Amino acid sequence: MMKLSLMAAFFDTADDADRHTPLADAIAARWTDGEASVEHRRSSANFVFAVADEYILRFNHESERDPEYIEAELDCIEYLAAQGQSVAPSVRSRTGNRIERVENALGVFHAVLFPALPGRQRSIDDLDETDFARWGQALGELHAASLDLDVERPSWAEHLADMRGLIPLDESGAHGELDYIARELEDFGGGPDEFGLVHFDFEMDNVLWADDGRLGIIDFDDSAYYPFVADIALALRDLYDDAIAHIDLADERLQTFVAGYRQAKSLSDEALRQLPLFARLGNLMVFARQIWALGDGPEREEPQWTTQLRQALAADHARSRHDFAENPLRLFLS
C-alpha cells in the first residue's frame, strides 16, 4: 500500500466524487490523443484507472517503485505471454516507451498501460468445486510456465530484509516471527522445480474469469522468487480469514484447489504442510506495508475518508500484533 499522505494529496486534485483528476488525464495522454475517458478503478499499492474501457493505466510515485523494478515486471509478463499464459503485456506509449516518466506538482510518477483482459472478477464465496479446481490449475500452469524464467525480481530473503527495515525494533512479536521464518526458509527442502517466480497475489482480485473458460491473470507488481507453495498460501488467504490458526488442510475447497494445481504442476505433501509459514509471511508483509502507509501520521489536515482509512489500518495493525503474540508460527508447523 502506498503512503496515505500521497493518496490524499493526489485525490485533492480530483474534481468530482468519482475521483476524476486532471493528473490522471495528463498521464494517460502519453498513450492517447487526450480525448479518451479516464476513470478511477482503485488505489492501494498503485493508482489504477480505466482508459476508454479498453486499457488499464497504472502508475505510482517514484518513492514507491523505481523504473528498474517495473521493467523487470514487464519482462516477466512478456515472457509468460510467449509461453501461452493469459496475461497482458504492456502497451508502448506514443513515443515508444513501455514506462512513461511523468512529472507534475506532486513529483515524478512512473506509468504503464496494459490492455484490459476479457473476463470478470468473482468472489471466492461464489466458487464451486469445478471453479476451485480450475483456479488451482491456472496457478499450476503459471508456475510451470515460469520455471525457466530469469528476471530481476526480489527473493524471499530480500523481502525479509525489507520488512526488518520497516518494522520498528520494539515490535518484538513481529521480529520474532521474522527470525523464525528466516530459519525455516534457510532450511527449506524440495527440488529445483519447487522454487521459482511466484505471483504473490493470486487472489480473486487479480484473476479474470473469461467466458471461454480461461483465467486471465493481472497485477504482477509483487512477483518474487519463493517456493511455489507460497502462492497457494497467499491465494487462499480468504479461506482461513488470513489467520494461520484457521488453516485446515482437510478443507475440501483447499484440497480441490490443490488437486487442480497438481493437474499442471507437481506439489509435494511436505511443501503443502508449510502453508502456515507463508501465510504468516504474508501477514508480516501486510504489517510492514501498513507501517509504510501510515508513515508519521497526517502531514496536514486530511479529508475524512483518509482519516477513516488511517484508523482502519491502525486497528488492523493492532490485531496483527496481538496475533503474532498469541499464535506464534512455531505452534503451527509440524
Q: Which CATH number goes with the domain that contains 162? A: 3.90.1200.10
**Same structural domain for residues 252 and 233?**
yes
The verdict on 253 and 233 lying in the same domain is: yes
Domain identity same for 134 and 212? yes
Q: What is the pLDDT of residue 296?
A: 77
d(CA 281, CA 160): 9
> Diameter of the chain by CA atoms?
59
The CATH number that applies at residue 35 is 3.30.200.20
Question: What pLDDT was estimated at residue 17?
Answer: 67
Closest CA to 231 of 146, 290, 115: 146
Closest CA to 14 of 45, 39, 51, 34: 39
Q: So what's the pLDDT on residue 308?
A: 92
Q: What is the pTM of this model?
A: 0.94
Say how far apart CA 58 and CA 74 lie, in whole Å: 12
If asked whether residues 84 and 203 sit together in one domain, one would say no
Q: Report how many domains make up the chain.
A: 2
Who's near 242: CB < 8 A, 6+ residues apart?
A: 279, 282, 283
Structural domain ending residue among the three candidates 98, 115, 132: 115
> In this structure, are 157 and 282 located in the same domain?
yes
Report the pLDDT value the prediction gives residue 192, as an integer from 0 to 100: 80
**Local structure of 102: helix, strand or coil:** strand
Residue 192 DSSP one-character state = G
Domain containing 83 equals 4-115
Q: What is the mean pLDDT of each run of 10 residues along the chain (334 residues)?
A: 89 77 94 89 93 95 94 98 98 98 96 97 96 98 96 96 98 98 91 92 97 95 97 97 96 98 96 97 98 83 87 96 97 89
